[in-house]
């Protein structure tokens, strides 16, 4: 098998997606412990969405007959002093993922890997939604006069697509 920067980056990104999933669980647990059930529910859903992203990448690698290794994840941040901290962390995480997805797309293009490039197009579109959603949530939290305003916003508004996109790639084992 020919060495491929795209395939190497994709293997790393699987780990990044699992790490994001775990970080979102940690944020959800923190929100739940702060009696903020709407934010907790939102971040539990985000965790599942990130897990599904990782499994979409796994399925792609399996479909292309590429070796797949499921990595461990680094420790996550569990403690925060105010509600905007996990939101800022999530926003930065999504911006970092966007840069990684852009690198994957560029690597596929540089290798003339049309299938890899096409696969990454969905993730590029997804990252626009992810960054926009986290930006909105962070901005609302920054402007809110109290925590109930944030909870009411999350309960009232649709933020993102909740991981339901019929054009999404198939996840290994099926999406949760």
pLDDT of residue 118: 96
Angle between helices 114-143 and 84-110 in degrees, nearest 10: 160
25, 44 Cβ separation under 8 angstroms: yes
Q: Which domains are assigned to the chain?
A: 5-70+80-156 (1.20.1260.10)
| pTM confidence score | 0.92
pLDDT of residue 1: 54
Dihedral sign (CA 93, 88, 81, 83): negative
Give the residue among 60, 43, 145, 156 at the shortest CA–CA distance from 94.
43
The SS3 call for residue 166 is coil
Q: What is the pLDDT tens value at each position of the chain, 176 positions in all?
A: 568 999 999 999 999 999 999 999 999 999 999 999 999 999 999 999 999 999 999 999 999 999 999 999 999 999 999 999 999 999 999 999 999 999 999 999 999 999 999 999 999 999 999 999 999 999 999 999 999 999 999 999 877 666 567 778 888 877 88
Give the residue among 56, 137, 55 at the shortest CA–CA distance from 93.
137
108, 117 Cβ separation under 8 angstroms: yes
pLDDT of residue 157: 84
């Amino acid at each position: 098998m020919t060495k491929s920067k795209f395939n190497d980056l994709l293997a790393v990104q699987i780990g990044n997606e699992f790490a994001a999933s775990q970080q979102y669980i940690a944020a959800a647990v923190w929100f739940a412990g702060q009696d903020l059930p709407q934010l907790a529910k939102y971040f539990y859903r985000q965790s599942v969405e990130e897990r599904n992203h990782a499994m979409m990448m796994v399925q792609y690698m399996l479909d292309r007959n590429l070796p797949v290794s499921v990595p461990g994840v680094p420790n996550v941040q569990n403690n925060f002093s105010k509600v905007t901290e996990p939101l800022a962390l999530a926003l930065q995480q999504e911006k970092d993922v966007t840069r990684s997805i852009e690198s994957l797309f560029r690597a596929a293009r540089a290798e003339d890997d049309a299938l890899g490039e096409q696969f990454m197009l969905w993730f590029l579109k997804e990252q626009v939604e992810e960054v926009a959603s986290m930006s909105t949530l962070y901005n609302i939290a920054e402007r809110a006069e109290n925590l109930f305003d944030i909870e009411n916003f999350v309960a009232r508004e649709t933020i993102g697509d909740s991981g339901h996109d019929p054009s999404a790639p198939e996840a290994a084992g099926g999406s949760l």
